[in-house]
Structure 1
Amino acid sequence: MSKVTIYDVARVADVSLATVSRVLNNPEKVKPKTRERVLAAINELGYRPNAIARGLASRRSTNVGLIVPTCSRASVSEMIDGVADIADKYRYSVFLNVTHNENDIATNVWQNMIASQVDGVLMMADKLSDDEIERLANDTVPTVLLSVKDLDGRLPAVLIDYELAAYEATKKLIENGNKDIAFITSSSYYAMNDLKEQGYRRALAEAGLEPRILGLYNKFENSLEAFKEFFANNAAPDAALAVRDSVAVMFMNAAIEHGISVPNDLEIIGFQNTKYAIMSRPQLSTINIPTYDIGAVAMRLLTKLMKEEEVTETQITLPHSFVWRSTTK
């Protein structure tokens, strides 16, 4: 099969070579409809403008793309710091793009990054479809996942063992004498939350206890009201494990407003050990995720893949730990 060239892209998109070049290098200068047509042709043909450049050190772009669902989370900010520090050490520039958890935006962002000749991509996503994983796995541009993974191991990833962390946290709540232990999760699907729930359920099953899944969390702005409504109409659990620190703190605040004493009447454990855990009153017990290290290790792994160095392990699990504060006994 002959190699796909820029001329093929121009022919399929029915545009000039200059237009294709502008889409690749200055996409903001091209009309949206024309840009989308060129990107569609690039995707259809599998054209990769940096394929040759990747083999010639003198012509490397030294650019990497970083795709995140949001920058508003404290954990994402810490992860970006880890990526940036290692990128700077190896003299890579990082192009940051935010998807706001929209799948179509994530797809367009990824295509734009590839067309802009990045040497590699780091991606953090709350959810990835099987089609998206296949596309990333089959592309010539290396991609590393941060704090999330493809359960089939098709893509390199750096994260913690979410199932084990949730299992150990739930075991701690059980050892403290709690029987009615709730799992506070999102009403939307997130793959890593499923792993946390599996660990929670495993610990309860071993103790002969029934799970209590509360899918109350959706968007930050409306979650506190949902938690208040829950306490107004339901019996409070003895303890709770939340999928994020911010969720745990909102759940705790709603409980306290309803006269529930933390930790005397309700023990709570969060996930991540972000600034929310320290700023809350009482301070939150939480699972410490090394988010800075995840970003740094992922960027180092990506540099090896981009340089085609030998990599013995592409599924990297970093250790987690626990920080016991004032919301547990």
Structure 2
Amino acid sequence: MSSNATIYDVAGAAGVSLATVSRVLNNPEKVKKETRDRVLKVIEELGYRPNVIARGLASRRTTTVGAIVSDMTRASIAEMLAGISDIAAKYKYSIKLFTIGADKDLTDALQDIVAEQVDGVLYLNDELMEEDVKKVKDIFNYNNIPFVFSNVFSHDPTVPAVSIDYEKAGYEITKLMIDDTHKNIYMLTTARRYSVNELKEKGYSKAMEEAGLEPHIFRTSGDTKINRPHFETFFHDKVVDGAIGVRDSIAVSFMNSAIEHGKKVPVDLYVAGFQNTKYAELSRPRMTSIDVPVYDIGATSMRLLTKMMQKEKVDEIKLVLPHRIIERETTKNR
């Protein structure tokens, strides 16, 4: 028996994560009995003594909600966080912000968040694939942590999520261009297949096929350093009179390149984006965009998570908020 044993020793010997050991010590009721008994047995065998002062502080903590984002530079993230914070303030919840970028291992990052002993989690990332959603669900369910996806879509009926109808939005913005006699319309999307973007593409393709037009999906990156070179060669071999970016930033980058190649917007081609961020308002000409109510998505997600944390009855865990098209100069050939 060694009084120098650490939580790492316990986790290794019991074959569990640090987060699980922490929960056995602080919230044992949230751990399955079989796992809890195994961890307690190892603790006894190793003579592990947790830091009593740290545990005392943990027991007096306020309700803490973890907000997970992928990229703090996204224009929509700040507004969504504002909606979350406003509702959280009413309940006197504290918010911990976590960043999980594309370069991080998702499972490891989630286990680190679980170890922070958050009471609930909001996941703000519209660039998740369905398999990623499953990983998040499995880890938080295993650790009995309520979670809600904000601005994320999943086919899984058991996954709580708040978003808009992205397929319908993709259909409507495409139809707007078709109704103004545009035929060679491109969907500018990401190379990686995200569930939300796939819905936008599905709506676009549906509108094009209904009109007897051929869909054109062009895959690039949301990073302007990467997509600008793609757009530099875009006009060499393509006939285009309309373009829809899955992000405002992609659409604006495309439009700037089009103008540099002598195209007049909206005379020669229409351009539109998604999210209705500051990029759409600041571009010249000002850009038409699907207005996604990201503040409301954040606030609604926080309300839903609050009900789940307080174990209140929840009638619907998939909430779809209304969207609208904000039409500006890039689709107004008057």
- Provide the TM-score with structure 1 as the length reference: 0.83
- SS of aligned partner of 2:89: helix
Aligned 1:173-322 pairs, distance under 5 A = 173-231=177-235, 233-322=236-325
Q: Aligned pair in 2 of structure 1 residues 44, 323: CA closer, same or farther (>3 Å)? A: closer
Match of 1:111 in 2: 111
1 CA distance for matches of 2:221 and 2:114?
34
Match of 1:6 in 2: none
2 CA distance for matches of 1:274 and 1:74?
6
Q: Is the 8 A contact 2:20 2:115 kept in 1?
A: no
Q: Which runs of 5+ in 1 are unaligned?
A: 1-10, 24-33
2 CA distance for matches of 1:94 and 1:264?
47
How far the C-alpha of 1:39 sits from its partner, in A, is 11
1 CA distance for matches of 2:3 and 2:299?
41
- SS of aligned partner of 1:48: helix
Q: Is the 8 A contact 1:148 1:158 kept in 2?
A: yes
- SS of aligned partner of 2:219: strand
1 CA distance for matches of 2:10 and 2:247?
38
Q: Aligned pair in 2 of structure 1 residues 198, 219: CA closer, same or farther (>3 Å)? A: same
Deviates more, 1:136-145 or 1:271-280: 136-145
1:123 aligns with 2:98: no
The letter of the residue matching 1:264 is V
Match of 1:29 in 2: none
**Per-residue CA shift, 1:242-299, capped at 9, x if unaligned?**
1011111000000000000000001011101000001000000000000011111101
1 CA distance for matches of 2:226 and 2:151?
25
Q: Percent identity?
A: 43
Match of 2:47 in 1: none
Q: Aligned pair in 2 of structure 1 residues 169, 16: CA closer, same or farther (>3 Å)? A: farther
2 CA distance for matches of 1:38 and 1:84?
40
Aligned 1:56-95 pairs, distance under 5 A = 61-95=62-96
Match of 1:28 in 2: none
How far the C-alpha of 1:46 sits from its partner, in A, is 8.3
1 CA distance for matches of 2:107 and 2:220?
28
Q: Is the 8 A contact 1:69 1:100 kept in 2?
A: yes
Equivalent in 163, 170, 177 of residue 174 of structure 2: 170
- Number of residues of Structure 1 aligned to a counterpart in Structure 2: 299
Quote the RMSD (CA, aligned, Å): 2.7
2 CA distance for matches of 1:158 and 1:234?
40
Deviates more, 1:42-51 or 1:273-282: 42-51
1 CA distance for matches of 2:114 and 2:270?
47
How far the C-alpha of 1:76 sits from its partner, in A, is 1.1
Q: Which runs of 5+ in 2 are unaligned?
A: 31-58
Deviates more, 1:247-256 or 1:183-192: 183-192
The letter of the residue matching 1:108 is D
**Per-residue CA shift, 1:151-179, capped at 9, x if unaligned?**
12221000000000000111111000011
How far the C-alpha of 1:85 sits from its partner, in A, is 1.3
Match of 2:16 in 1: 41
Deviates more, 1:88-97 or 1:257-266: 88-97
How far the C-alpha of 1:73 sits from its partner, in A, is 0.6
Q: Is the 8 A contact 1:61 1:117 kept in 2?
A: no
- Provide the TM-score with structure 2 as the length reference: 0.82
1 CA distance for matches of 2:12 and 2:121?
23
Larger CA Rg, structure 1 vs 2: 2
Aligned 1:23-42 pairs, distance under 5 A = 41-42=16-17
How far the C-alpha of 1:224 sits from its partner, in A, is 1.5
